[in-house]
Amino acid sequence: MPTPEVSQPVPALDIAGLTVRYGPVVALDDVSMTVHSGRICGLIGMNGSGKSTLFKSIMGLARPTAGRVTIAGHTIAQARARGLVSYVPQAENVDWEFPISVREVAMTGRYGRQNLFRRITSRDRTAVDDALDRVGLTDLADRQIGRLSGGQRKRAFVARGIAQGAEILLLDEPFAGVDKRSEATIIDLLRELTAAGRTVLISTHDLSTLPSFASEAVLLMQRVLVHDTPEEALRPENLALAFGVDVTGRDAEVNR
Protein backbone atom coordinates (compact mmCIF):
# COMPACT_ATOMS: atom_id res chain seq x y z
CA MET A 1 0.00 0.00 0.00
CA PRO A 2 1.38 3.46 -0.81
CA THR A 3 2.28 5.52 2.26
CA PRO A 4 -0.14 8.44 2.59
CA GLU A 5 1.60 11.76 2.04
CA VAL A 6 1.98 13.83 5.19
CA SER A 7 1.25 17.43 4.28
CA GLN A 8 3.76 19.88 5.69
CA PRO A 9 2.39 23.09 7.20
CA VAL A 10 3.06 26.18 5.11
CA PRO A 11 5.84 28.11 6.89
CA ALA A 12 5.07 31.60 8.13
CA LEU A 13 8.30 32.77 6.51
CA ASP A 14 10.35 31.06 3.85
CA ILE A 15 13.43 32.79 2.46
CA ALA A 16 15.41 31.13 -0.31
CA GLY A 17 18.74 32.24 -1.78
CA LEU A 18 18.17 35.91 -0.93
CA THR A 19 20.93 38.27 -2.06
CA VAL A 20 20.68 42.04 -1.62
CA ARG A 21 23.32 44.50 -2.78
CA TYR A 22 23.62 48.24 -2.26
CA GLY A 23 25.93 49.11 -5.13
CA PRO A 24 29.17 47.29 -4.37
CA VAL A 25 28.09 46.35 -0.81
CA VAL A 26 26.69 42.84 -0.43
CA ALA A 27 24.27 43.23 2.49
CA LEU A 28 22.76 39.74 2.23
CA ASP A 29 24.42 36.86 0.44
CA ASP A 30 22.37 33.79 -0.48
CA VAL A 31 20.30 33.82 2.73
CA SER A 32 17.94 30.89 3.18
CA MET A 33 15.84 30.32 6.28
CA THR A 34 12.42 29.04 7.28
CA VAL A 35 10.39 30.05 10.32
CA HIS A 36 7.18 28.26 11.23
CA SER A 37 4.02 29.74 12.71
CA GLY A 38 3.95 30.34 16.43
CA ARG A 39 7.71 30.74 16.74
CA ILE A 40 9.80 33.59 18.11
CA CYS A 41 13.00 33.72 16.06
CA GLY A 42 15.87 35.86 17.36
CA LEU A 43 18.04 37.54 14.75
CA ILE A 44 21.58 38.19 15.94
CA GLY A 45 24.57 39.71 14.24
CA MET A 46 27.08 42.48 14.50
CA ASN A 47 26.44 46.00 13.20
CA GLY A 48 26.21 45.85 9.42
CA SER A 49 25.53 42.09 9.32
CA GLY A 50 22.32 42.64 7.35
CA LYS A 51 19.56 42.41 9.97
CA SER A 52 17.71 45.58 8.91
CA THR A 53 18.17 44.66 5.26
CA LEU A 54 16.54 41.31 5.98
CA PHE A 55 13.57 43.09 7.59
CA LYS A 56 13.35 45.48 4.64
CA SER A 57 13.44 42.55 2.24
CA ILE A 58 10.57 40.83 4.03
CA MET A 59 8.62 44.10 3.91
CA GLY A 60 9.37 44.44 0.19
CA LEU A 61 11.40 47.62 0.78
CA ALA A 62 14.78 46.24 -0.40
CA ARG A 63 15.06 44.87 -3.89
CA PRO A 64 16.88 41.52 -4.01
CA THR A 65 19.31 40.73 -6.81
CA ALA A 66 18.50 37.05 -6.32
CA GLY A 67 16.23 34.82 -4.29
CA ARG A 68 12.71 35.05 -2.97
CA VAL A 69 10.71 35.64 0.19
CA THR A 70 7.45 33.74 0.73
CA ILE A 71 5.11 34.76 3.55
CA ALA A 72 2.53 32.19 4.63
CA GLY A 73 2.63 30.84 1.08
CA HIS A 74 2.23 34.29 -0.49
CA THR A 75 4.54 36.52 -2.48
CA ILE A 76 5.58 39.76 -0.80
CA ALA A 77 3.11 41.73 -2.92
CA GLN A 78 0.25 39.41 -1.94
CA ALA A 79 1.32 39.48 1.71
CA ARG A 80 1.38 43.29 1.67
CA ALA A 81 -2.06 43.46 0.11
CA ARG A 82 -3.34 41.15 2.84
CA GLY A 83 -1.52 43.00 5.63
CA LEU A 84 0.29 39.84 6.73
CA VAL A 85 3.48 41.54 7.95
CA SER A 86 3.94 44.34 10.45
CA TYR A 87 7.15 46.14 11.35
CA VAL A 88 8.13 47.64 14.71
CA PRO A 89 10.95 50.01 13.73
CA GLN A 90 14.13 50.91 15.57
CA ALA A 91 13.42 53.90 17.80
CA GLU A 92 15.99 56.06 16.02
CA ASN A 93 14.16 55.68 12.70
CA VAL A 94 10.95 57.30 13.97
CA ASP A 95 10.15 61.03 14.17
CA TRP A 96 8.69 61.06 17.68
CA GLU A 97 7.58 64.69 17.30
CA PHE A 98 5.18 63.72 14.50
CA PRO A 99 1.72 64.88 15.60
CA ILE A 100 0.03 61.52 15.82
CA SER A 101 -1.68 59.90 18.80
CA VAL A 102 -1.18 56.35 20.04
CA ARG A 103 -4.64 55.46 18.74
CA GLU A 104 -3.80 56.88 15.30
CA VAL A 105 -0.55 54.90 15.19
CA ALA A 106 -2.54 51.73 15.82
CA MET A 107 -5.11 52.84 13.23
CA THR A 108 -2.41 53.03 10.52
CA GLY A 109 -2.36 49.22 10.75
CA ARG A 110 -5.87 49.23 9.27
CA TYR A 111 -4.96 51.32 6.22
CA GLY A 112 -2.36 49.00 4.68
CA ARG A 113 -4.98 46.73 3.24
CA GLN A 114 -6.80 49.45 1.37
CA ASN A 115 -6.15 53.10 0.72
CA LEU A 116 -5.41 55.90 3.10
CA PHE A 117 -8.51 57.85 2.28
CA ARG A 118 -11.17 55.29 2.92
CA ARG A 119 -13.65 55.96 5.69
CA ILE A 120 -12.80 54.53 9.11
CA THR A 121 -15.42 51.95 10.00
CA SER A 122 -16.71 50.77 13.37
CA ARG A 123 -14.85 47.52 12.66
CA ASP A 124 -11.58 49.49 12.42
CA ARG A 125 -12.36 51.26 15.68
CA THR A 126 -13.13 48.01 17.47
CA ALA A 127 -9.95 46.38 16.13
CA VAL A 128 -7.85 49.34 17.30
CA ASP A 129 -9.54 49.48 20.73
CA ASP A 130 -8.95 45.74 21.17
CA ALA A 131 -5.31 46.07 20.10
CA LEU A 132 -4.67 48.96 22.51
CA ASP A 133 -6.30 46.95 25.26
CA ARG A 134 -4.06 43.95 24.47
CA VAL A 135 -0.90 46.04 24.81
CA GLY A 136 -2.17 47.91 27.89
CA LEU A 137 -2.30 51.38 26.30
CA THR A 138 -6.03 52.12 26.47
CA ASP A 139 -5.51 54.90 29.03
CA LEU A 140 -2.82 56.56 26.88
CA ALA A 141 -4.65 56.18 23.54
CA ASP A 142 -5.05 59.92 22.93
CA ARG A 143 -1.53 60.90 23.91
CA GLN A 144 0.95 62.03 21.23
CA ILE A 145 3.28 59.09 20.50
CA GLY A 146 6.42 60.99 21.49
CA ARG A 147 5.01 61.62 24.98
CA LEU A 148 5.29 57.92 25.82
CA SER A 149 8.16 56.02 27.42
CA GLY A 150 10.42 53.90 25.19
CA GLY A 151 8.68 50.66 26.16
CA GLN A 152 5.20 52.17 25.65
CA ARG A 153 6.20 53.40 22.18
CA LYS A 154 7.19 49.86 21.20
CA ARG A 155 3.87 48.56 22.49
CA ALA A 156 2.04 51.18 20.40
CA PHE A 157 3.71 49.77 17.28
CA VAL A 158 2.91 46.21 18.35
CA ALA A 159 -0.71 47.40 18.70
CA ARG A 160 -0.55 48.55 15.09
CA GLY A 161 0.45 45.00 14.06
CA ILE A 162 -2.33 43.48 16.14
CA ALA A 163 -4.94 45.88 14.72
CA GLN A 164 -3.69 45.01 11.26
CA GLY A 165 -4.17 41.30 11.96
CA ALA A 166 -0.58 40.65 10.85
CA GLU A 167 0.61 37.06 10.85
CA ILE A 168 4.27 38.04 11.20
CA LEU A 169 5.69 40.75 13.42
CA LEU A 170 9.17 42.05 12.70
CA LEU A 171 10.74 43.80 15.68
CA ASP A 172 13.97 45.71 15.08
CA GLU A 173 15.81 45.98 18.41
CA PRO A 174 12.67 46.45 20.52
CA PHE A 175 14.57 46.36 23.81
CA ALA A 176 17.09 49.11 23.05
CA GLY A 177 16.60 51.90 25.59
CA VAL A 178 13.80 50.00 27.32
CA ASP A 179 13.90 49.13 31.02
CA LYS A 180 13.67 45.52 32.23
CA ARG A 181 10.06 45.84 33.34
CA SER A 182 8.89 47.14 29.95
CA GLU A 183 11.02 44.49 28.27
CA ALA A 184 9.24 41.80 30.31
CA THR A 185 5.86 43.30 29.34
CA ILE A 186 6.77 43.20 25.65
CA ILE A 187 8.06 39.61 25.94
CA ASP A 188 4.81 38.52 27.64
CA LEU A 189 2.89 40.14 24.80
CA LEU A 190 4.99 38.35 22.17
CA ARG A 191 4.42 35.04 23.96
CA GLU A 192 0.65 35.63 23.91
CA LEU A 193 0.73 36.50 20.23
CA THR A 194 2.79 33.45 19.24
CA ALA A 195 0.62 31.19 21.41
CA ALA A 196 -2.25 32.41 19.21
CA GLY A 197 -0.30 31.38 16.08
CA ARG A 198 1.43 34.65 15.16
CA THR A 199 5.13 34.56 14.30
CA VAL A 200 7.82 36.94 15.51
CA LEU A 201 11.23 37.77 14.04
CA ILE A 202 13.16 39.93 16.47
CA SER A 203 16.61 41.46 16.22
CA THR A 204 18.45 42.11 19.45
CA HIS A 205 21.94 42.81 20.69
CA ASP A 206 21.08 41.59 24.17
CA LEU A 207 22.13 37.96 24.11
CA SER A 208 21.57 37.40 27.83
CA THR A 209 17.76 37.34 27.68
CA LEU A 210 17.30 35.72 24.27
CA PRO A 211 17.06 32.08 25.45
CA SER A 212 14.32 33.03 27.91
CA PHE A 213 11.85 33.96 25.18
CA ALA A 214 13.09 32.91 21.71
CA SER A 215 12.19 29.50 20.31
CA GLU A 216 15.07 29.66 17.83
CA ALA A 217 17.89 31.96 16.81
CA VAL A 218 19.65 32.91 13.59
CA LEU A 219 23.23 34.21 13.60
CA LEU A 220 23.65 36.43 10.59
CA MET A 221 26.75 37.76 8.90
CA GLN A 222 25.53 38.54 5.40
CA ARG A 223 24.84 34.78 5.34
CA VAL A 224 23.06 32.58 7.84
CA LEU A 225 25.91 31.20 9.96
CA VAL A 226 23.75 29.23 12.37
CA HIS A 227 20.01 28.60 12.71
CA ASP A 228 19.32 26.54 15.81
CA THR A 229 17.88 26.65 19.30
CA PRO A 230 19.01 29.80 21.17
CA GLU A 231 21.18 27.66 23.46
CA GLU A 232 23.04 26.08 20.53
CA ALA A 233 23.22 29.28 18.50
CA LEU A 234 24.77 31.17 21.43
CA ARG A 235 27.59 28.69 22.01
CA PRO A 236 30.89 30.58 22.29
CA GLU A 237 32.27 29.12 19.06
CA ASN A 238 29.19 30.33 17.15
CA LEU A 239 29.41 33.79 18.68
CA ALA A 240 33.06 33.92 17.72
CA LEU A 241 31.99 33.19 14.14
CA ALA A 242 29.25 35.84 14.16
CA PHE A 243 31.17 38.60 15.88
CA GLY A 244 34.70 37.81 14.81
CA VAL A 245 35.86 37.89 18.42
CA ASP A 246 35.78 35.39 21.22
CA VAL A 247 32.64 36.47 23.05
CA THR A 248 32.30 34.00 25.88
CA GLY A 249 29.34 33.54 28.19
CA ARG A 250 25.70 34.45 27.83
CA ASP A 251 26.04 37.68 29.71
CA ALA A 252 27.87 39.28 26.83
CA GLU A 253 26.08 42.26 25.40
CA VAL A 254 27.74 43.04 22.13
CA ASN A 255 27.90 46.11 19.94
CA ARG A 256 26.64 48.35 22.71
Ligand X SMILES: Nc1ncnc2c1ncn2[C@@H]1O[C@H](COP(=O)(O)OP(=O)(O)OP(=O)(O)O)[C@@H](O)[C@H]1O
Q: Residues interacting with ligand X, by CB under 6 A? A: 22, 25, 27, 45, 47-53
Q: Which is nearer to ligand X, 159 or 210 (CB)?
A: 210
Question: Do 21 and 63 touch, CB atoms closer than 8 A?
Answer: no
Q: Measured from the CB of residue 46, what is the shortest distance to ligand X in angstroms?
A: 7
Q: Which is nearer to ligand X, 54 or 187 (CB)?
A: 54
Q: Measured from the CB of residue 177, what is the shortest distance to ligand X in angstroms?
A: 14
Calpha distance 205→137 (Å, rounded): 26
Calpha distance 132→8 (Å, rounded): 35
**Beta strand pairing status for 216-221 and 223-228?**
antiparallel
Q: Which is nearer to ligand X, 51 or 153 (CB)?
A: 51
Q: Measured from the CB of residue 12, what is the shortest distance to ligand X in angstroms?
A: 21
The count of residues in the chain is: 256
Q: Measured from the CB of residue 254, what is the shortest distance to ligand X in angstroms?
A: 10
CB atoms inside a 10 Å sphere around CB 93: 9
Nearest one of 201, 174, 171, 195 to 34, comparing CA atoms: 201
Using a 10 angstrom Cβ sphere, with 0-12 exposed, 13-18 middle and 19 or more buried, the burial of residue 178 is buried
Question: Do 107 and 163 touch, CB atoms closer than 8 A?
Answer: yes
Q: Which is nearer to ligand X, 25 or 66 (CB)?
A: 25
- Residue 219's φ and ψ, nearest 5 degrees, are -100, 125
Q: Measured from the CB of residue 124, what is the shortest distance to ligand X in angstroms?
A: 33
Does the CA dihedral 37-43-49-55 come out positive or negative? Answer: positive
Q: Which is nearer to ligand X, 51 or 103 (CB)?
A: 51
Q: Measured from the CB of residue 52, what is the shortest distance to ligand X in angstroms?
A: 3
Q: Which is nearer to ligand X, 86 or 204 (CB)?
A: 204
* Helices first, then strands: H and E counts in the chain: 9, 9
